[in-house]
Amino acid sequence: MTPLRGKRALVTGGGRGIGRAIAAALTGQGAEVIVLGRSRAPLDEAVAAGHATRAIACDVTDRPAFLAALHDAGDLDIFVSNAGHAETAPLKRMDAALFDRMIALNLTAVFDGIHAVLPGMVARGTGRIVSVASTAGLTGYPYVSAYCAAKHGVVGLTRALAKEVATSGVTVNCVCPGFTETDLVAGSIDTIVAQTGRSPEAALADLTKTMPIGRLIKPEEVAAAVLWLVSDAAAAVTGLALPVAGGEI
Provide the residue ranges of all domains of the chain, joining segments of one domain with +.
Answer: 8-178+217-243
DSSP character string of the chain: --TTTT-EEEEETTTSHHHHHHHHHHHHTT-EEEEEES-HHHHHHHHHTTS-SEEEE--TTSHHHHHHHHHHH---SEEEE---------GGG--HHHHHHHHIIIIIHHHHHHHHHHHHHHHHT-EEEEEE--GGGTS--TT-HHHHHHHHHHHHHHHHHHHHTTTTTEEEEEEEE-SBSSHHHHHHHHHHHHHH---HHHHHHHHHTT-TT-SPBPHHHHHHHHHHHHSGGGTT--S-EEEESTT--
Q: What is the pLDDT of residue 203?
A: 81
| Interaxial angle between packed helices 145-164 and 96-103, expressed in degrees from 0 to 180 and rounded to the nearest 10 | 30
pLDDT at res. 185: 76
Does residue 141 have an active-site annotation?
no
Catalytic pick among 66, 99, 143, 147: 147
| Predicted pLDDT at 11 | 98
Q: Band of the pLDDT at 69, cuts 50, 70, 90?
A: very high
Predicted confidence (pLDDT) at residue 126 exceeds the cutoff of 90: yes
Whole-number pLDDT of residue 235: 98
Taking only the tens place, the pLDDT of each residue in 187-202 is 778 877 888 888 888 8
Average pLDDT of the residues of the chain: 95
pLDDT tens digits, 179-233? 999 877 777 788 778 888 888 888 888 888 889 999 999 999 999 999 999 999 9
**Is it true that domain 8-178+217-243 has CATH number 3.40.50.300?**
no
pLDDT at 193: 81
Q: Is 37:17 a contact under the CB 8 Å cutoff?
A: no
pLDDT confidence of residue 187: 77
Position 198 scores a pLDDT of 87
pLDDT tier, 129 (very low <50, low <70, confident <90, very high otherwise): very high
